[in-house]
Structure 1
Amino acid sequence: MQYEEIIEIIQSKRRFGKAYGRDVTAEMMERLEHPETGMKIIHIAGTNGKGSTAAFVSSILHAAGFVVGRFTSPHLIRFTERIVVDGEEIGKDDVIRLGERVLALPMRQETTMFDLCLGMAVLYFKEKNCDFVVLETGLGGAKDSTAGLSVVPEVCAFTNIGYDHTAILGNTIEEIAAEKAGILKKGTHAVLGIMDEKAADVIKKQAEILDVPITNVDNLLTKISTYEIPLNGVFQRANATLAVGVVETLFNNHCGYLGDNFLSKKEEIIRQGLAEAKWPGRMEVLSEKPYVLADGAHNPQGVEALFNSLKNMFPDEKFVFLVGVMADKDYRAMMRTMYPLADTFLCATVDTSRSLQADELCQNLLEDGMSAVVSGDLLDGLQKAIALGEEKGERIIIFGSLYFIGEVKAIFEGGSIHLPEYE
Structure 2
Amino acid sequence: MDAYKETVAYLYEQLPMFTRVGATAYKEDLHNTLALLEQVNNPHQHFRSIHVAGTNGKGSSSHMLAAIFQEAGYKTGLYTSPHLLDFRERIRINGAMVPESFVVDFTRQIQTHIDHIQPSFFELTVAMAFSYFAQEKVDIAIIETGLGGRLDSTNVITPELSLITNISYDHKNILGDTLEKIAGEKAGIIKSGVPVVISETQAEIRHVFEQTAAAKAAPIHFADQEWMVDGSDITSTHLALTLMDIRQQQMRHIKLDLNGQYQEKNVMGVLSAARVLQEKGWQLHTDQVIHALTHVKKLTGVRGRWEVIQQHPLTVLDVGHNEAGIREIMEQLRHMNYQQLHIVVGFVKDKEVEKVLPLFPATAHYYFCKAQLPRALDENELAEQAAHSGLQGHPYPSVQAALQAARQHAQPDDMILVCGSFFVVAEVM
If the length of structure 2 is used for normalisation, what is the TM-score? 0.88
Q: Is it true that 1:182 corresponds to 2:188 in the alignment?
A: yes
Measure how far apart 1:17 and its partner are: 4.2
| AA of the residue aligned to 1:271 | I
Structure 1 partner of 2:417: 397
Greater helix proportion: 1
Measure how far apart 1:201 and its partner are: 2.1
Measure how far apart 1:243 and its partner are: 1.4
C-alpha RMSD over aligned residues: 1.8
Task: Note closer, same or farther for the CA distance 1:204–1:318 as it changes in structure 2 (3 Å cut).
Answer: farther
CA contact (8 A) 1:152 1:187 kept: no
Map 1:4-403 onto structure 2 (within 5 A): 4-12=5-13, 13-15=15-17, 16-17=24-25, 19-105=27-113, 108-147=116-155, 149=156, 151-218=157-224, 219-221=226-228, 222-223=243-244, 226-253=253-280, 255=281, 258-259=282-283, 262=284, 266-278=285-297, 279-314=302-337, 318-340=340-362, 342-390=363-411, 393-403=413-423
SS in 2 for 1:270: helix
CA contact (8 A) 2:345 2:366 kept: yes
Structure 1 unaligned runs (5+)?
A: 410-423
SS in 2 for 1:53: helix
SS in 1 for 2:257: coil
1:201-247 C-alpha deviation (Å, 9 max, x unpaired) = 21111111111111121122423762010012111122122112112
Measure how far apart 1:23 and its partner are: 2.0
CA contact (8 A) 2:312 2:414 kept: no
| AA of the residue aligned to 1:207 | A
| AA of the residue aligned to 1:374 | P
1:52-92 C-alpha deviation (Å, 9 max, x unpaired) = 00000000011111000000000001111000000101111
Measure how far apart 1:308 and its partner are: 0.6
1:16-63 C-alpha deviation (Å, 9 max, x unpaired) = 447435221111122222112132110001000111000000000111
CA contact (8 A) 1:28 1:107 kept: no
1:355-406 C-alpha deviation (Å, 9 max, x unpaired) = 0011111111123322121124322211110122228x42000100001101
| AA of the residue aligned to 1:227 | I
Greater strand proportion: 2
Task: Note closer, same or farther for the CA distance 1:171–1:201 as it changes in structure 2 (3 Å cut).
Answer: same
Task: Note closer, same or farther for the CA distance 1:268–1:75 as it changes in structure 2 (3 Å cut).
Answer: same
After superposing the two structures, state which structure 1 stretch, 217-226 or 153-162, moved more: 217-226
CA contact (8 A) 1:291 1:395 kept: yes
SS in 2 for 1:42: strand
Question: In percent, how many aligned pairs have the same letter?
Answer: 28
Measure how far apart 1:108 and its partner are: 4.3
Structure 2 unaligned runs (5+)?
A: 18-23, 229-242, 245-250
In the comparison of the two structures, how many residue pairs are matched? 396
Query: 2: distance between equivalents of 1:305 and 1:18?
Result: 27
CA contact (8 A) 2:26 2:120 kept: no
Task: Note closer, same or farther for the CA distance 1:103–1:241 as it changes in structure 2 (3 Å cut).
Answer: farther
Query: 2: distance between equivalents of 1:183 and 1:23?
Result: 16
SS in 1 for 2:43: coil
Query: 1: distance between equivalents of 2:258 and 2:184?
Result: 30
Measure how far apart 1:318 and its partner are: 4.7
| AA of the residue aligned to 1:72 | T
Query: 2: distance between equivalents of 1:192 and 1:108?
Result: 39
SS in 2 for 1:292: strand
If the length of structure 1 is used for normalisation, what is the TM-score? 0.90
SS in 1 for 2:350: coil
Query: 1: distance between equivalents of 2:178 and 2:387?
Result: 30
